[in-house]
Structure 1
Amino acid sequence: MITIKHNHEDGTLIYGTRKGDGVYDIVRKWENGNFKYFPSMRMIGLRNSRDRVADRWAINAAAEALRRAGYEVEVEIDDTHRDRAQVLADKADRLEDRRDALEVKADRHAGAAAAAHDRAHEIGARFEGGQPILVGHHSERRARADRKRMDQAMRKSIDENDKAQSTAERANAVGRQMRHSARPGTTARRIEKTEAELRGIQRSLDGYQRIHRDHAGNPFYVDTHDAAKGDYRDQLLARKAQLENQLEYDQAQLQAAIEAGEYVEYSRANVHVGDRLWAWGYNGLVIKVNTKTVQVDFRDHWRPKIPFTDVGKVECPHGDDGPTRLAAKRPAEKATSRPKVEVPSIDVAELAQRIAEAQTGVPLDSEAFMSPPKVVERVMEAAELEPGMSVLEPSAGNGALARAAAATGCEVHCVERYPKLSKGLLDVPGIVGLTTGDFLEVPLDQYPARFDRVLMNPPFSRGQDMQHVMHALRFVKPGGLLVAVMSNGVAWHKDNTATSFRALVEQRGGRIEPLPDGAFATSGTDVRTVLVVIPAPEE
């Protein structure tokens, strides 16, 4: 037996169902009542049906659809309304429970974010020495797995942090609408709407006629509405009784606010033409007073009609003793509210920065992308190294190019800004010098003689690669060679710097060769690159 019950305390719920029996699949459809499943109650029901008149259309539609499907259905409707004070008290209790649940949920997400944050740092600690991934080394697989786990932990930390902050905001918003609804001005507007709805209900109960007239005012059609009958009449009577109880409560609350000096009830009795009136953040002179509204001349000749319930203050100059201000003596007392829910927030930018530094030993914006083996091979082919040659690698990083040059029997000097990257380079046979600092600040007299070859992979952004290469050309001896990995922008950019650079390459008999797409994918970037070879002129 399926029972659809409605009362004002519990709302509309369906009893006698179980998971998988097909009831929800039927009643969830809009044409069958648009019922929803409430996980907290583990029941099927209508949203926003508590303390409201039964939605007989939805209830009857669901009952008929279930009967057609072979179910035995009973409908029980009790439209006896509850006292307004009891309704508000129960609503306040439910809101407190909801706020508590959201606060616990926010704390749970914040804890998960902190745990993921700590996990990312824990894995990142393995890279504190600045050791990058060594392609082809036995440690490559584990290093890549660690990076993947760090990335997953960071993403989880960010996701959980977002959930924690949004849940805290939802917790703080709980009860905001209820507190706003209790303000005297809001109560006055609600009273007007309630009275209007009651007048409409009474017209429907008594029956009425609507006369349609032509442009001359003569009636040409009369629309007759008979008095409500059956379920519709029962529904109107239940709603009328509920509204009358709500109206009585609201009127008592508003009268208490008036007597306490928290609210002034404006009307034609205390607002006159020529008064200065404040409303909607503006003030202006009253030019017309109506039954329910007042017309005000605001600045720029804006003359809106303002409901008396929206008036904030009136200055009346008509009194014998001078201007009189009509406004509340003191503001309405704010409802007591619980402290704001706050949960710790993860500094996402700081987390990304620290993980990047842990992986590479350099800041996130350093552009320290190490030369992969295939790129090193291309550079070595273009450099045409011979044993005994002197080689300089500016911006050496972990020394991929320097190590390869040293392996051919050359004497290699390196320049590297970040010591964590260049750690251990001087232990490599053939690397005889290491300068720590920015290569652009290294003077020519830093070295006793210029070099046979300069091999370099400089930073690319904002034309830094061209700036580094132009500085490096000063260190190449006559007849020597510079080989650089650069951004492919130098091959096609039309600005003066790029145009002049290409002219220099052509003038010296050099060349610009494209490197394969994704050449630096293993280093964490998909930037397109070229190989630039520039001979030094013979003296």
Structure 2
Amino acid sequence: MTITIKHNHEDGTLVYGTRKGDGVYEIIRLWENGGFKFFPSIRMLGLRNSRDQVADRYAISAAAKALRAAGYEVEVEIDDTFRDRAQVLADKADRLEDRRDALERKADRHAGAAAAAHDRAEQLSERFAGGQPILVGHHSERGARADQKRMHQAMSKSVRENDAAQSAAERANAVGSQMRRSATPAVTRRRIETAEAELRQIQKGLDGYERRHLDYGGNPRYIEDHAPAQGDYRERLLARKAQLDNQLEYDRAQLAAAIEAGEYVMWHKGNVHVGDMVTYWMRGRRRTVVKVNKVTVAVESGYSWPDKVKFTDILAVDCPHGEDGPAITTTNRPKKKGQARPKVEVPKMNMDELAAKIEAALPEVPRDSEAFFSPPAVVARILDAAGLEPGMVVLEPSAGAGAIAKAAAAAGCEVHCIKRYPQLSKDLLDVPGIVGLTTGDFLQAAPSHFPDRFDRVLMNPPFSRGQDIAHVVHALQFVKPGGRLVAVMGAGITFSQVKAAQDFRQLVEDWEGEIIPLPKDAFAAAGLSVLTVAVVIPC
């Protein structure tokens, strides 16, 4: 098995002839063995940032040596022929464009998954939309907890996918920003100066030099003699020198074009004078020049010492030394070229409303509470039968989550509530129109607990073991003459032969009331399959 480590400026340093699990990556990933990385996009091993760079012969040699020691046959191929600077930048722009497109697709993909998960959580939350609690010990508990778990999972996934979508969109919008800044005249000038300094160091290495170490008196303490570079090191220096020469040719042409177009001024010792006002990068500061140096100017700082500002950091100069007398202002803020690509945006999920619904699904009450919430369709039938008018005083003696009470308040009535489990709806008194809330068992309440009797009593009491009959009969005491009671009850009151049911049917008949059948699936949304009726009793 032959492993080939190849380097060229177009592809960088890559490893050929490997496959997953062959042990190569475990060896050359170590820092001392070259520090190679795995690139998922091309599914190959290689060195980071090696494209259009002189080969890192040290890392390549270390990897080859370690692989040979492990029994692999290794070949090394290095081609340090540089590419033209214009071609390098064009290829980089194409790669960045592909990266932006990939990130944009990724953002859309995650946004779609976030929306789907959000919709699923919203759908599951509808079971608890009316405030339906989990009845511990009831046959519905298992399904309710399963729905609750699925709802939490769907919301968690929606949050994760939404975060991933927003992150991908931000990364897509950031693609190319460094390259755009790198192309500005100010950065180009700094890159030219850095390249020129590196060329001087390279030339010293090629020619050889001596380094004199002086003592405190300025006398030579010892002299280091550096011979001209030889072998691979010399080849690397020559390759880098040729690459820098090409880069400098391109950058100098770009900078000259910007200067000719009036987009940039080369500030230097010849056109900045003592007394000029310079504006520089640090928060747009403007300071007076007190001294001009070779690379920097000294400006007033407001303290006993001046601040130093590099010529490359100057943004504008107000110069009173113009030939015609008036101040001359020039700037290094280049004009914007072209129009940027549209910003990548993905819809952001609003989790607050959904989180509130999920939080409402958390209360738990005992099974015998029979706290089934009143679905919107049932509430509408109750209000229709009640004939509410604005200003009426209404009692809801089995408030639960407060669906009936809130609807009555919305109709302009003054509503008082009695509820056994306060955790089912903690915001009832925050609802306009709900003016009173009593906590406790309604069967223990008495009309004397309230200032007056009520125009309407609207209720959805527990059904089992005749509880609905007991609650309705007790509630009749709270209705003022001429008022009306409307209650949701189990359909068993219409046919049961137990004495309590028979007596109740006779009561409804004597009070000229009526029993109205409700749809078979009236409470399906609450997880309850039971036949129900609406009982209307005028008083």
**Contact 1:105/1:167 (<8 A) preserved:** yes
2:154 aligned partner: 153
**Contact 1:411/1:430 (<8 A) preserved:** no
Output the CA distance in 2 between the equivalents of 1:3 and 1:234.
Answer: 21
SS in 1 for 2:136: coil
Can you list the C-alpha shifts for 1:369-406, whole angstroms capped at 9, x where unaligned? 55557999xxxxxxxxxxxxx99995434899x99957
* Percent of matched pairs sharing the same residue: 62
**Contact 2:315/2:332 (<8 A) preserved:** no
Q: 2:420 pairs with 372, 380, 396, which one? A: 396
Q: 1:431 pairs with 471, 490, 494, which one? A: 471
SS in 2 for 1:430: helix
**Contact 2:121/2:151 (<8 A) preserved:** yes
Shift of 1:241: 0.6
2:336 aligned partner: 333
2:489 aligned partner: none
2:68 aligned partner: 67
Q: Which amino acid aligns with 1:313?
A: A
2:109 aligned partner: 108
1:92-491 matches, within 5 Å, as 92-280=93-281, 281-300=284-303, 303-328=306-331, 331-334=334-337, 336-357=339-360, 359=361, 369=363, 372=366, 395-397=419-421, 423-424=460-461, 428-431=468-471
- Structure 1 segments of 4 or more deviating over 4 A? 369-376, 390-395, 402-406, 409-415, 432-435
Output the CA distance in 2 between the equivalents of 1:243 and 1:311.
Answer: 26
2:519 aligned partner: none
Which ranges in structure 2 are unaligned for 5 or more consecutive residues? 371-396, 399-415, 425-437, 451-457, 481-539
**Contact 2:322/2:328 (<8 A) preserved:** no
1:28 aligned partner: 29
> Structure 1 residues 398, 423: closer, same or farther in 2, change over 3 A?
farther
**Contact 1:297/1:303 (<8 A) preserved:** yes
> Structure 1 residues 307, 404: closer, same or farther in 2, change over 3 A?
closer
Output the CA distance in 2 between the equivalents of 1:423 and 1:89.
Answer: 74
Q: TM-score, normalised by structure 2?
A: 0.70
**Contact 1:107/1:343 (<8 A) preserved:** yes
**Contact 2:135/2:365 (<8 A) preserved:** no
SS in 2 for 1:73: strand
SS in 2 for 1:40: coil
SS in 1 for 2:135: coil
Compare 348-357 and 242-251 and name the one that shifted more. Answer: 348-357
Shift of 1:422: 7.3
**Contact 1:279/1:313 (<8 A) preserved:** yes
Shift of 1:412: 7.0
Q: TM-score, normalised by structure 1?
A: 0.70
| Larger relative contact order (Cα-Cα within 8 Å, sequence gap ≥ 6) | 2
Shift of 1:178: 0.2
SS in 1 for 2:77: strand
Q: Which amino acid aligns with 1:118?
A: D
- Work out whether 1:13 is the aligned partner of 2:37: no
Shift of 1:133: 0.8
Can you list the C-alpha shifts for 1:490-514, whole angstroms capped at 9, x where unaligned? xxxxxxxxxxxxxxxxxxxxxxxxx
1:478 aligned partner: none
Output the CA distance in 2 between the equivalents of 1:314 and 1:247.
Answer: 27
Output the CA distance in 1 between the equivalents of 2:146 and 2:218.
Answer: 84
Output the CA distance in 2 between the equivalents of 1:333 and 1:248.
Answer: 24
Output the CA distance in 1 between the equivalents of 2:474 and 2:322.
Answer: 92
> Structure 1 residues 405, 23: closer, same or farther in 2, change over 3 A?
same
Q: Which amino acid aligns with 1:113?
A: A
2:51 aligned partner: 50
**Contact 1:284/1:299 (<8 A) preserved:** no
Shift of 1:94: 0.2
Q: Which amino acid aligns with 2:357?
A: R
**Contact 1:282/1:298 (<8 A) preserved:** no
SS in 2 for 1:164: helix
Compare 123-132 and 41-50 and name the one that shifted more. Answer: 123-132
Output the CA distance in 2 between the equivalents of 1:315 and 1:174.
Answer: 36
Shift of 1:136: 0.8
SS in 1 for 2:294: coil
Shift of 1:432: 5.2
> Structure 1 residues 423, 225: closer, same or farther in 2, change over 3 A?
farther
Q: Which amino acid aligns with 1:75?
A: V
Shift of 1:338: 1.2
Output the CA distance in 2 between the equivalents of 1:271 and 1:157.
Answer: 58
> Structure 1 residues 433, 155: closer, same or farther in 2, change over 3 A?
farther
Q: How many residues align?
A: 408
Shift of 1:252: 0.2
Q: Which amino acid aligns with 1:350?
A: E
Shift of 1:100: 0.4
**Contact 1:315/1:325 (<8 A) preserved:** yes
Shift of 1:428: 2.6
Shift of 1:221: 1.5
Can you list the C-alpha shifts for 1:390-444, whole angstroms capped at 9, x where unaligned? 99995434899x99957xx8567899xxxxx974459734335999xxxxxxxxx
Provide the aligned C-alpha RMSD in A.
3.2
SS in 2 for 1:428: helix
Output the CA distance in 2 between the equivalents of 1:252 and 1:314.
Answer: 24
> Structure 1 residues 3, 328: closer, same or farther in 2, change over 3 A?
same
Output the CA distance in 2 between the equivalents of 1:136 and 1:300.
Answer: 78
SS in 2 for 1:17: coil
Shift of 1:50: 0.3
Compare 421-430 and 198-207 and name the one that shifted more. Answer: 421-430
> Structure 1 residues 74, 133: closer, same or farther in 2, change over 3 A?
same
Shift of 1:296: 1.0
> Structure 1 residues 293, 405: closer, same or farther in 2, change over 3 A?
closer
Output the CA distance in 2 between the equivalents of 1:137 and 1:374.
Answer: 8
> Structure 1 residues 118, 393: closer, same or farther in 2, change over 3 A?
closer
Output the CA distance in 2 between the equivalents of 1:114 and 1:51.
Answer: 42
Q: Which amino acid aligns with 1:146?
A: D
Output the CA distance in 1 between the equivalents of 2:470 and 2:317.
Answer: 91
